[in-house]
């Protein structure tokens, strides 16, 4: 059966018009995808990073408790406190899914240092421990003999307490999200204002992330953040405090410096 040429000629413009409409819709969809894909990817990566930060935050609070608990029964020994904190924080940045992996991981990090070859290229200290009490100048020469003397504790303030602030240098490992969060925390810590650069979240705008209120140890924390940022090692300084009555008397040999190395200051 032969087709009528007149019918073919009348249908051809309609098919051509539909084809052009489909091409235009396809091009519009590609443009929309190109505009929204970066933001969508960041939202996904950022959400994942925030969940990892939440887990690390909980581990930081537990690590602060473990460090102070260990120090209270070991005369305020910094090494023992640091080891207790690292053992509590290992799941946040390394494998601990078997006793062997746990032992190997702790052995590799017992010096309180990240291993560049196995920790996503990170280096530097894992934790900082700042001991706020007891003060080194307040230690008594007869501490060993008078520690459990009831006559000494006439006031609540006379109780020897170990108060510490722990900073966990959490290594962020989510691409792109770690850079954005790293720059935001630098601006928040008054390290510098971040302005005049293209905003990575909105390329058509200019970023204006200004300084905010500073917090304790800001100079040391800022200097460490800058050092690691220059090495492209993006970390988030998670912090937690804990206090507990000392179960053993603090010994002067464990308080040669107020803070545990490598925390600057407090000498």
For residue 19, tell me if it sits in a domain: no
119-135 pLDDT, tens per residue? 878 889 999 999 988 88
- 123's CB contacts (< 8 A; 6+ apart) are 113, 114, 115, 116, 228, 231, 233
* Domains contained in the chain, number: 1
For residue 11, tell me if it sits in a domain: no
For residue 140, tell me if it sits in a domain: yes
Q: Are 128 and 164 in contact (CB under 8 A)?
A: no
Q: Which residue has the higher pLDDT, 83 or 186?
A: 83
105-115 pLDDT, tens per residue? 999 999 999 98
For residue 81, pLDDT beyond 90: yes
Domain with 202 in it: 52-254
Strand partners, 125: 113
Q: What is the pLDDT of residue 7?
A: 47
For residue 112, tell me if it sits in a domain: yes
Strand partners, 127: 168
For residue 150, tell me if it sits in a domain: yes
Q: Please state, in angstroms and rounded to a whole number, the distance separating the CA atoms of residues 190 and 114.
A: 26
For residue 86, tell me if it sits in a domain: yes
Task: Name the pairing type of β-strands 127-133 and 206-209.
Answer: unpaired
> Which range, 42-51, 81-90, 101-110, is most confident?
81-90
Instruction: Give the max Cα distance, the chain.
Output: 118
Token pair, residue 197, equals 């650069």
Q: Give the predicted TM-score (pTM) of the model.
A: 0.74
Q: What is the radius of gyration, based on Cα positions, of the chain?
A: 29
């Amino acid at each position: 059966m032969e087709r009528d040429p007149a019918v073919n000629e009348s249908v051809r413009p309609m098919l051509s018009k539909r084809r052009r409409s489909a091409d235009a819709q396809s091009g519009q969809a590609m443009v929309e995808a190109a505009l929204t894909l970066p933001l969508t990817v960041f939202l996904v990566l950022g959400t994942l990073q925030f969940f990892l930060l939440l887990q690390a935050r909980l581990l930081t609070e537990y690590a602060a408790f473990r460090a102070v608990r260990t120090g209270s029964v070991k005369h305020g020994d910094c090494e023992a406190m640091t080891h207790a904190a690292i053992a509590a924080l290992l799941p946040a940045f390394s494998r601990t899914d078997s006793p062997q992996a746990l032992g190997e991981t702790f052995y590799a990090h017992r010096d309180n240092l990240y291993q560049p070859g196995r920790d996503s290229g990170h280096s530097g200290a894992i934790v900082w421990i700042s001991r706020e009490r007891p003060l080194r100048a307040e230690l008594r020469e007869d501490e060993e003999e008078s520690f459990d003397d009831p006559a000494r504790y006439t006031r609540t303030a006379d109780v020897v307490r170990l108060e510490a602030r722990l900073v966990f240098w959490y290594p962020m490992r989510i691409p792109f999200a770690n850079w954005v969060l790293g720059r935001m925390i630098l601006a928040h810590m008054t390290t510098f204002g971040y302005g005049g650069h293209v905003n990575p979240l909105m390329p058509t705008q200019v970023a204006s992330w200004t300084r905010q209120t500073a917090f304790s140890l800001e100079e040391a924390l800022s200097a460490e953040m800058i050092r690691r940022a220059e090495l492209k090692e993006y970390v988030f300084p998670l912090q937690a405090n804990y206090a507990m009555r000392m179960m053993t008397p603090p010994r002067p040999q464990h308080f040669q410096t107020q803070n545990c190395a490598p925390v600057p200051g407090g000498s």
